A = this chain, B = another copy of it.
Amino acid sequence: MISQTEENYLKALYNLTYLKGEASVNEISKRLEIKMPTVNSMMKKLSEKGFVHYESYKPLKLTEEGKKEAALIIRKHRLTEMYLVEKMGFAWDEVHQIAEQIEHIHSPEFFTKMDQLLGYPTVDPHGSPIPDHNGVMRSESYIFLDTCKTGDAVTLMAVQPSSKELLQYLSAKDLELGTTLTILSIEPFDNSITVNYGNRISEVLSSKVTATLLVRPIS
């Protein structure tokens, strides 16, 4: 049996290792706001259980089993977020904290039902992919808006990372997933960009914002 606490560590490690393939005790400690010695012992425990490759002073990695476990928890998290938005009418900035709790519910039937009712969605309300029931996550090929050039036309596909404040900011600006933006200019001094979308003729987005927006160029 795997505890709620252990699940949160696995998920943190999965998310931290998603890009580089490895993470440090220190990073998990900061992410979960738990002191390093506690993280250290938990990593040893998860290593005993076969979920983590642990060696003193070496970076941490998930085992294949650990990756699958973590992905299945993330699946429950993202299905829940989607359900809360699509079926219960919550806004995209209200669902993360609730999903953080519901992801730990033990009931395959409950999540299977959600999946069905939603029509087997592949992304959550923030555009992040939902792993399948085997824990396999489709990899995205989107690019960050701050890597685009003047004149590019792109579609907003995902927001990452998606803090509550950022999501509220985007809503206030009528920026939602699927919105098509055209880059009118890029300010070299601070890398802020001016864009055009919907009936917004000229909106300025700071680099702090554009660094979180994943887009697909219009082919």
Contact = CB atoms under 8 A, between A and B. Distances in A.
Interface string A78-91: 00000010011110
A101 B109 contact: no
Contacts of A57: none
Contacts of A109: 90, 94, 98
B88 A113 contact: yes
Contact of A107 (B98, B110, B113): B98
A105 B101 CA distance: 7
A107 B97 contact: yes
A34 interface: no
A89 B113 contact: yes
Contacts of A97: 107
A102 interface: yes
Contacts of A101: 105-107
A32 interface: no
A98 B105 contact: yes
B88 A117 contact: yes
Contacts of A105: 98, 101-102
A89 B116 CA distance: 11
Contacts of A113: 88-90
Given A88-B117, A102-B105, 16 more contacts: A84-B110, A87-B87, A88-B113, A88-B114, A89-B113, A89-B117, A90-B109, A90-B113, A94-B109, A97-B107, A98-B105, A98-B107, A98-B109, A101-B105, A101-B107, A102-B102
